[in-house]
Every structure is written in C-alpha cells, then in structure tokens.
Amino acid sequence: VSPDPYFRERLPWRMGSVKLAAGPVVVCHLHSEVVRGDTAEIVLKLDKAGQGVMVALPQKGSEHMQDDPMLRAMSCDPRHRRVLITDARSPLALPLAKALLGAGATTIFIGEPEDWRNWEGRAALAALENVDLLPLDVTDTSSVTRLAAEIGGKVDILINTASFLRPGGVLGGDTVFARDSMETNVLGLMRLAQAFGPAMAGRTADGVNSAAAWVNLLSSQALAPDTSFGTFGATQAAARSLSQTLRAEFSKAGLRVMNVYSGPADDEWHQPLPPPKVSPSSVARAIVKGLIDGLEEVACGDIAREALERWSADPALFERELRGGGS
C-alpha cells in the first residue's frame, strides 16, 4: 500500500523479496500468480517511466498470465486494445493486421490513402473481421487531422507503416523523389504525432484499454546509409531523430515509443540486392513480440540486428566499414 496519489490509484502494488540462484536477495515486482515459496523466473522490464525493473514471473503461467495488471503496465500488449496502422497499401498491412488480431487486439483501424481508387490487396484487408479501412494520407495535414478527430480518442497503439522509397544517392539523386520521401517519412510522422499524440498521451492510465505505444517502422539505414539509397537513408535518420524526440516528449505520460529497424525488404526496390531479405510477416511478428515484451528498440532480420549491434558498439567504426574504410 502507499499514500502516494500515483500508487493509490493502482493498489495493490505487489512487491516481494526473491532469493536469486546466485545468492543475493532482491526486492522486485511480483506477478499475481507468484506466491510465497514458489520458484520464479526473474525477467527485466521497462516500467512506464522507461526505467529498468525486475519482475518475478511464474515458471508455468496460466493462459491468462498476460492479463496481470502489473505485467500489462510493464508491456504494450495489443490484447484488448485498438490499433491504428497508418498505411493500408504497405505490404506489411495485411500480415500485421492478422498478427495483431491473433494477439487479441479488439479493433484494427487501417489508414487508406487515395481511398477512392481500388487497388490490389484491398479486398483481403476489408474481409478481415474487426478491421476498419479509413481515409488517411500522411502527406495531407487535413486528412490526418480529420481522422484524429474521428478516432483519436480510441487509438491505444499507433503503428506508422507509411513509407516512400526510391533508390538514389546525393550526387545523382532525384530531388523530386527526395522531397516526396521527406514528406512521407519525416513530415508524415510529425503530422501524425501532432494529431494523435496528445490524445494518446492523455489516455495512458485508462486501465485495460489505456493508450500504450507508438511504433515507428524504420530501415536499418536510419543508423548508417547505403549509398544506393542515400536520400531514403537521410529521411530514415531524420525520422529516427524525430522518434527520439517523441520518446522524450511522451516519457512523462508513460506512452512507450518503439523503433523497429528492418533490413532490405523483399520488394521491387530491393530486387538487385542479394539475400537475406526481410518478409512482411517476419516484421509483423517482431512488432507484436516487441509490444508484448514492452521494448523500445527492436531489430528484425539479420542485417538490422547486426547493424544495431555494431552501431551501438561504435557508430564511427561502423560507418567507416560500410564505406569501405576498413578497421
């Protein structure tokens, strides 16, 4: 129990002492299915403030263990939540919607640019139960604002899948494509944040249906660019910078910002590149797992995982190796 206003609204706050196999005794959060004398599994989680904490989980949990209030507060589990996917035309939209529904999401809103024009794949999305296709063009401020006015108070998780990709470096790149890429990948993110962010930040303590997470899909080129896609890499780096700012701005509200980095996708723009390539279904699985685990940074695919590890270890060396400078 606690007299503090924050904890008073969330009581009982379940804490306990656990003796580790290595010897020390720690005080940590206890899952509701862990009782005195149990052998528990200790895992590391991020709390709403983004601080690392230890949590004791049952070794064999029930099918409802993810519904534990404490564990739910430490994660961004899509179960019982409403999710907005911002671009229906993204190859990721269909597998992501299926993965989220499979994880227990109640409603999937999917933004549809140029909703007046029919396109391949629309019927498959529209046929899914509990999926609503709604007009949304992230390059149009009015479109974003209208949708936010309609569903902004209902969105618990926003996943930004909108992306504009064209090959080209700086010296020989097309400035028209560069501008279009910036409009979608960077300014589109900013428009979404300004329209949906305040309402989501104000609903992070709404219990089971609280707003939980903002997910940005980024290329591993956000960390270090490929010269063949130099202008696209620049927009990804800019989007990552905006995402880090969003994380700081949302931190007081407890809204988690998760960056998902992926390597080259198996699409028309990356056909000349050798494997391994990342499939939309694998990215969808990585997003759902990252939400359930309450992570801030997720890498999908071997290339993205290696890029994130090497960039985290030594950004300057990683960049030098990419441009052929050796070690």
Average pLDDT for residues 205-227, to the nearest whole number? 87
Minimum mean pLDDT range among 8-17, 188-197, 229-238: 8-17
How many residues are there in the chain?
Answer: 327
The pTM assigned to this predicted structure is 0.89
Rounded percentage of the chain residues whose pLDDT exceeds 70: 94
Contact 69, 93 (CB under 8 A): no
Contact 196, 155 (CB under 8 A): yes
Return the closest-CA partner of residue 111 out of 80, 151, 79, 76.
151
The overall average pLDDT reported for the chain is 89
How is residue 139 annotated by DSSP? T
Confidence of residue 85 (pLDDT cuts 50, 70, 90): very high
Is the pLDDT at 325 greater than 70, yes or no? no
In degrees, to the nearest 5, what angle opens at C-alpha 326 toward C-alphas 235 and 221? 15
- pLDDT number for residue 13: 80
Average pLDDT for residues 216-228, to the nearest whole number? 87
Which is more confidently placed, 244 or 1? Answer: 244
- pLDDT number for residue 270: 60
Contact 236, 218 (CB under 8 A): yes
In three-state secondary structure terms, 82 is: strand
The reply to whether CATH 3.40.50.720 applies to domain 82-322 is yes
In three-state secondary structure terms, 42 is: strand
Structural domain boundaries in the chain: 5-69, 82-322
Helix, strand, coil percentages (3-state) for the chain, rounded to 5, are: 40, 20, 40
Confidence of residue 113 (pLDDT cuts 50, 70, 90): very high
Beta sheet of 40-46, edge-to-edge order: 15-19, 25-30, 52-58, 40-46
**Residues 49, 45, 60, 79: is their CA dihedral positive or negative?**
positive
